[in-house]
Amino acid sequence: MLRAFVANFQKGIIEFKRYYFNSISGFATVLIFFYLIFFGVKSVSGSSPTFGQTIDGIIVGYFMWLMFIFSFQGVAWGIIEEAQRGTLEQVFVSPIPFEYQMFCRIITDFVINVLLAIPLMYFAAFTTGRHLNFDLITLLYLLIGGTMCALGIGMILGGIALVFKRISSFIQIVTFGSLAFTMADPGNIFQKLLPMAQASHLMRALAISGMRITQFPLSEHVVLWGAASMYVLTGILVFRIFEKRAMLTGTLGQY
């Protein structure tokens, strides 16, 4: 199990370095899209007294959204790429459970994304004249909780990809639809249970008010990890349903 984890981690690092031009272009796109949102909001708000808090919320919500889509797309696109390369069946016949290998890959993606997204977030805040107050332990705590929600969504999309093969349009719908979950401030328990919504809500409290992990009410922690557990378990269940369907129809390795 440990060797499988190390192998998947090395694979992620090698692919990131090997296709460095695509990696750099992706993060350049992240900044360009952020500035488009920033100047759009600025042109509407002008010198409104609440503009400072608004842009703080946008910075945090935007980069939490990026962590969310990087995480769930990493699982879904990973399965699609394995099918395209013709190596998906090799992964399934491995003595290491497929879900564990996906878990290893999500950890690799999480480490890479954190190391790159956090400096980008500070850079975006600096260039827009904002100062974000972050406690590193609280930041990682919230990112882990939110990423677990993304893992569940990614497993669902990965399961759908096993059967329907090409789901890029559907992934795009989920990608932009999830922007509402991370940008909006949840007002009730049902909204907090939406993917990444609770993590984004607590992240804004961290960035704007400087709250730490020990200052959040117990109920907020319960909702955060309750939502994370719900999406992970649902994702694994749905994935196994689609996995069984693909095996019964003999289309697991087809593309």
Distance CA 213, CA 30 (A): 28
| Contact by Cβ (8 Å): 22, 117 | no
| Contact by Cβ (8 Å): 146, 199 | yes
pLDDT of residue 39: 77
Hey, how many other C-beta atoms are within 10 angstroms of the C-beta on 107?
16
| Contact by Cβ (8 Å): 195, 181 | yes
Give the DSSP per-residue string, 145-157: HHHHHHHHHHHHH
**Residues whose CB is less than 8 angstroms from the CB of residue 97 and which lie 6 or more positions away in sequence, other chains included:** none
pLDDT of residue 45: 60
Q: Does residue 21 belong to any structural domain of this protein?
A: yes
Q: Does residue 94 belong to any structural domain of this protein?
A: yes
- CA-closest candidate to residue 202, choices 251, 139, 120: 139
- CA-closest candidate to residue 57, choices 185, 146, 180: 185
The percent of the chain in helix, strand and coil, each rounded to the nearest 5, is 80, 0, 20
Full domain range(s) for residue 106: 2-249
Q: Does residue 210 belong to any structural domain of this protein?
A: yes
pLDDT of residue 50: 47
pLDDT of residue 51: 45
Q: Which amino acid is at 232?
A: V
Please tell me the total count of domains within the chain. Answer: 1
| Contact by Cβ (8 Å): 82, 88 | yes
pLDDT of residue 84: 76
Q: Does residue 233 belong to any structural domain of this protein?
A: yes
Q: Does residue 164 belong to any structural domain of this protein?
A: yes
Q: Does residue 132 belong to any structural domain of this protein?
A: yes
pLDDT of residue 251: 72
Tell me which residue has tokens 């909702």.
Answer: 223
What DSSP designation does 47 have? T
Task: Output the six-digit token pair for 187.
Answer: 């007002």
Q: Does residue 255 belong to any structural domain of this protein?
A: no
pTM: 0.79
Distance CA 134, CA 78 (A): 32
Tell me how long the chain is.
255
pLDDT of residue 49: 44
Task: Output the six-digit token pair for 183.
Answer: 């940008």
The pLDDT profile of the chain, 255 residues, written as one tens digit per residue, is 778 778 878 887 888 888 888 878 877 887 888 788 777 777 766 555 444 456 766 777 777 778 788 777 777 787 778 777 777 777 777 788 777 777 777 778 778 877 877 787 777 777 777 776 667 788 888 888 888 888 888 888 888 888 887 787 888 888 887 777 777 677 778 888 888 888 888 887 887 777 888 888 899 899 999 999 999 899 889 988 988 888 888 777 666
pLDDT of residue 108: 80
Q: Does residue 254 belong to any structural domain of this protein?
A: no
Tell me which residue has tokens 């031009």.
Answer: 21
Distance CA 220, CA 202 (A): 8
The number of C-alpha atoms within 13 Å of 95 and in the hemisphere containing its C-beta is 4
